[in-house]
Chain A
Amino acid sequence: MGRIPRSYLINRLITLFLTILIAATLIWVIPRLSPVDPADIMLGRMAAGAGSVANADQVLAQLRESFGLDQPMIVQYFKYLGNTLLFDFGLSTASFPTPVSSLIARALPWTLGLMILSVVITFVIGNALGAFMVWERSPKLVKVAIPAAMVFTSIPPILSGLLLMWIFAAQLRWFPLTGAYGLMVEPGWTWDFALSVLHHGFLPALSIVIVTFGFWALGMRGLMITVQGEDYVKLAEAKGLRPRYILYRYMIRNAILPQVTAFALKIGLLIAGQVLVERIFAYNGMGKLLYDAILDQDFPVIQGVSYVIILMTALSVFLVDLIYPFIDPRIRHEG
């Protein structure tokens, strides 16, 4: 406890680096197994746009050169690796010649905002509800209402998204249908913009929350039931401690620990689940970027987005590893 030992930190950092390296390699290998040649696709697109392309062979060679596809695989790999680690993913083929990194830089804040918001809300709400389902002093209503609300958990996020969209945006018109902020609002650090962002982000976030909170609530319920039967909770009651204090300090504090681990492991899945939600709400985040890139066979963007998602997952696992000993005194940092 206390400080994190240096040997442990170095150990963890090496693991983190290796994870990222392997992920980066896989991301590079998989698209290369595809029979599609990105230069061909670009040429095809140019041909479709202009009717015909003169000196097609030369253009093709030039395109290959500009993407470095003319070099031996091994050279391509190490170049790619070096660039990727520096967040240089090359140029997008679909929106040529925009660098992939700037596309990601534009999309990432939206996804992070939406994701962090919805993930944190889900985690907090889900665990709180799970805890209240077990707590003896919860109002009866809570114990009836929560299981009913869990019906939504079995709905895929796109359907819940469409449903919410239809009710609250199309019928009631409380929220905008699509987009991340209003067309009339100038992006910047203004209240108008912030309100617009919240207004637009509400439904996408809700559609994620509504289908995922049940996972946390059910998990927490099981953990709470186990903790409730523990001798230390019984003794806490015999000690005449206040019921709320027992709930927080003796029950939730102990029941939440495995949930934190699950949280870190789930982050990657949560981002993946968000792809389609972003798509239906035309929300300009990483999910939409990835979706469009797959349709356009825009390999550099697919690589870049996948890399960033893996990086975020690896980083969150790393962070949970570091903080876990602080929330559970029985776990130690050992190298």
Chain B
Amino acid sequence: MTEPRNVVLKVRGLSVFYATPTGDVRATDDASFDLYEGETLGLVGESGSGKTTATSGILRMVSSPGRIVAGSVELDGVDLLALKEEDLRRQRWSKLALIPQGAMNSLNPTMKISAQIADVIRTHTGKTPPRDRILELFQMVGLPGRIHDMYPHELSGGMKQRVCIAMGIALNPRVIIADEATSALDVVVQRVVAQTMAKVRDALGVSMIMIGHDMGLMAQMVDRIAVMYSGKIVEIARVADMFARPAHPYSKILIDSVPSLTQRQALRITGGITHDPRNPPKGCIFQLRCPYAAPQCREPQPLREINPGQLAACCRAEEILAGTAQAREIADA
């Protein structure tokens, strides 16, 4: 697992802020990570931690009042954030596809399913795809051919999600971003759709960023996990490392919060006050709620390698891994 691999997507210092009357909300702040060829990276964090904002930054689709403040997103060495609009349009979907968050509303209600897949192929290749190509895509994601001439309202939620997957792989992109692609579905359909996604990914060898907050699903689907808290990436590690020995206190709490089948225990969430996202604390982003907070946490905490392949933004990561760090009690907010 440690052999050097090609980096497909290189995100550096990506910051996306939302303007509000009382100052900028730092939704995604100085996010950096690499996505390797054929790898699936999971991006997790609680609601509002900036996962979706980060992807809209990568796709350069931040809409007002949001804006990309800084950073670069290099896809095969081309910085998407520096491209001219027309060049960016050509890169979209042919290189970087999206499986959207709300598949229920992601299809145009007045267009046939097949037409919505055909139009993206036609736009980027200049050729109208033959019917067989569309049917082949349907087959890859387990959809029946009869939906070819149907409209979105005639399909179930799970089917629409599959249509979105079929659409995503239509041009064999380098990277697919799946933004909570299964959150809106019930657990049974969720599992099937996740399996479909995994199958397609393995068949095509495409790199993937999976966003979600379902740690169980992540554990099965991804190679590495990046944990976000309040706009910052606080830890990146291989799935096994992340679950076995998280180095950042927040990752630790997040993983402890996954309910266990064998042990019944109360949900432990750390107390303390979440800071105002317009005015984050100096230094570590998590210091106000961190049970291990120390005076040195007021210094900036960049991501640093703790172990090979494991990066964490915590000055006490080694102590935490060794189990020597003393936890403090935090009063509930």
Residues of A within 8 A of B (CB): 230-232, 234-242, 245, 249-250, 253-254, 257, 327-330
Which of these, B105, B110, B124, contacts A240 with CB under 8 Å?
Answer: B124
Measured between alpha carbons, how far is A119 from B106 in the docked complex, in Å?
34
**Known contacts A230-B105, A231-B102, A329-B151; A242 and B123 CB within 8 A of each other:** yes
Q: In the bound complex, do residue B110 and residue A253 qualify as a contact, i.e. CB atoms below 8 Å apart?
A: yes
Contacts of A242 in B (CB 8 A): 89, 123
Q: In the bound complex, do residue B153 and residue A232 qualify as a contact, i.e. CB atoms below 8 Å apart?
A: no
Residues of B within 8 A of A (CB): 59, 61, 88-94, 97-98, 100-102, 104-111, 119-120, 123-124, 151, 153, 164, 167
Measured between alpha carbons, how far is A257 from B108 in the docked complex, in Å?
13
| In the complex, residue of chain A having the shortest beta-carbon distance to the beta carbon of B94 | A240
**Known contacts A235-B98, A238-B98, A241-B123; A249 and B93 CB within 8 A of each other:** no
List 19 extra interface pairs beyond A232-B108, A239-B119, A240-B88, CB under 8 A.
A230-B105, A231-B102, A231-B104, A232-B105, A235-B98, A238-B61, A238-B93, A239-B92, A239-B167, A240-B89, A240-B92, A240-B120, A241-B89, A242-B123, A245-B123, A250-B108, A253-B110, A328-B110, A330-B151
Contacts of A249 in B (CB 8 A): 108, 111, 119
**Known contacts A231-B102, A234-B100, A235-B98; A240 and B108 CB within 8 A of each other:** no
Q: In the bound complex, do residue B123 and residue A329 qualify as a contact, i.e. CB atoms below 8 Å apart?
A: no
Distance from A137 Cβ to chain B, minimum over Cβ atoms (Å): 10
Distance from A38 Cβ to chain B, minimum over Cβ atoms (Å): 53
Contacts of B120 in A (CB 8 A): 239-241
9 closest A-B pairs by beta carbon, nearest first, are A240-B92, A231-B105, A329-B151, A231-B106, A239-B120, A238-B98, A240-B93, A240-B89, A232-B108
Measured between alpha carbons, how far is A250 from B167 in the docked complex, in Å?
16
Contacts of A330 in B (CB 8 A): 109, 151, 153
Q: In the bound complex, do residue B110 and residue A245 qualify as a contact, i.e. CB atoms below 8 Å apart?
A: no
Measured between alpha carbons, how far is A198 from B167 in the docked complex, in Å?
51
List 30 A-B pairs, Cβ < 8 Å: A230-B105, A231-B100, A231-B101, A231-B105, A235-B164, A237-B61, A238-B59, A238-B92, A238-B93, A238-B98, A239-B120, A239-B123, A240-B88, A240-B90, A240-B93, A240-B94, A240-B123, A240-B124, A242-B89, A245-B123, A249-B119, A250-B108, A253-B108, A253-B110, A253-B111, A254-B108, A328-B109, A329-B109, A329-B151, A330-B151
